[in-house]
A and B are shown apart, each in its own frame.
Chain A
Amino acid sequence: MILTREVAELKRPEDVVRVRQVARALALQAGFGLVDQTKIVTAVSELGRNALIHGGGGTATLEVIEEGIRRGLRIVFRDEGPGIADVERALQDGYTTSGGLGIGLGGARRLMNEFEISSSPGKGTTVTIARWK
């Protein structure tokens, strides 16, 4: 069940800041403690910036969800950019095409409980992450 949903655009650098703020507010609302909030916000920052920089902009959909007795936060990042040809490789630490650290994607996976990525070259990339309390 979805308790709250927020959709945010990712078009400019400031939008990444805003999505982080929304994520922080929803994590608080879902009852996450400070450490989990920080992990979620950090993952959101990475994937939000990836969608903006590598994906040429997109959206983030953030949802506070409830499944039985557990509560969590799910975030879907969508862009219609160039896509990722080799996802496994992109997930490896240190792999970057833009002079970054090449850690964001793999790091976001480690920071969350659930991580799913689907990408097709030329069509875009969708990354779904979730963390449960």
Chain B
Amino acid sequence: MSTKSILPELVRRFEAEILNDWMREQRAAITLRADLLTDAELARQSAEFFAAFQAGLQGQDLGEITGPAWGTARDLLKEIARLRSRQGFSLSETATFVFSLKQPLFALCQRELEREAVLLVGELWTISVIIDKLGLFTAESALAAREEIIGRQQAELLELSTPVVKLWDKVLALPLIGTLDSNRTQVVMESLLQAIVDTGSSVAIIDITGVPTVDTLVAQHLMKTVSAARLMGADCIISGIRPAIAQSMVHLGVSFTEIVTKATLADALRHAFARTGVSVSRQAAG
């Protein structure tokens, strides 16, 4: 831009008025969740951000919100996005915080630069660029915050759902269900090893009936677990390899050599009983 923007100057001169109008815009926005945010909190966030916004306007290149002048503003927006995501605001509700500042700034410029069309267009453009960038930054921050929340919840769920079950004295079973190539595999396998130690089990049955695909990664996870269990004195049996999966494994070239595999969990249990010296007999009907 050839002419220097008078935006910083305008904003400073009408500071109180803009802040006031902006607050009014926010309160009027249907997206403001009065149930989630008190007016005092909104006023505090707005005032803080508005100060940072003015600091940003002092920078070299106005539209460059990644620069150092906008550092405080970015930090505040991140913080607000994080807070609001935790409180359950939607992305657009969160981004409205910034976008609603556009209207008061536009109105001000239109009024103050009424007679200077060229200047006016330039300033409106600058405002647009800055607010849009800040708004997108807010939405992105909210998205990142939300992903972080989901990630944490997933981790908590993993902790909760340790699917190792003790079937019999010294016999454990791990029914695996769903996709195996995530963090989940690691957690589940570790919980099996821990359970082997805790229960002093000598046989562990890993049932993969509920696993839709066995590829090299899954196979490698399983083999590592079996080796580790062996080091701790427990033998593993893998059960529930369905026919279609068995055929794919053959073509793929992975085989569970030196690992006992059984078609069903029942077969595996029978094998485990034999290994641990348990005999099961049917009572004669009397």
Contact = CB atoms under 8 A, between A and B. Distances in A.
Contacts of B253: 93, 103, 106-107, 110
A108 B215 CA distance: 10
The A interface is mostly helix, strand or loop, or mixed, namely helix
A42 B248 contact: yes
Contacts of B252: 42, 46, 103, 107-108, 110-111
Chain B contact residues: helix, strand, loop or mixed: helix
A71 interface: no
Contact of A103 (B181, B214, B216, B243): B216
B216 A107 contact: yes
B216 A39 contact: no
Interface residues of A, number: 26
Interface stretch (A3-11, A13-21, A77-85, A119-127): A13-21
A74 interface: no
Interface in B182-227: 182, 212-217, 219-220
B251 A111 contact: yes
Interface residues of B, number: 20
Which has the most chain B C-beta neighbours within 10 Å: A17, A38, A100, A104? A38
A46 B215 contact: yes
A37 B216 CA distance: 17
Interface string B47-79: 000000000000000000000000000000000
A16 B254 contact: no
B20 interface: no
A39 B216 CA distance: 13
A41 interface: yes
A35 B247 contact: yes
Given A45-B215, A49-B217, A103 B247 contact: no
Given A45-B215, A103-B252, 18 more contacts: A14-B182, A20-B213, A35-B247, A37-B244, A38-B213, A38-B247, A38-B248, A39-B251, A46-B216, A101-B216, A101-B219, A104-B216, A106-B253, A107-B251, A107-B252, A108-B252, A110-B252, A111-B251
Interface of A: 13-14, 16-17, 20, 24, 34-35, 37-39, 41-42, 45-46, 49, 93, 100-101, 103-104, 106-108, 110-111
Interface of B: 179, 181-182, 212-217, 219-220, 243-245, 247-248, 251-254
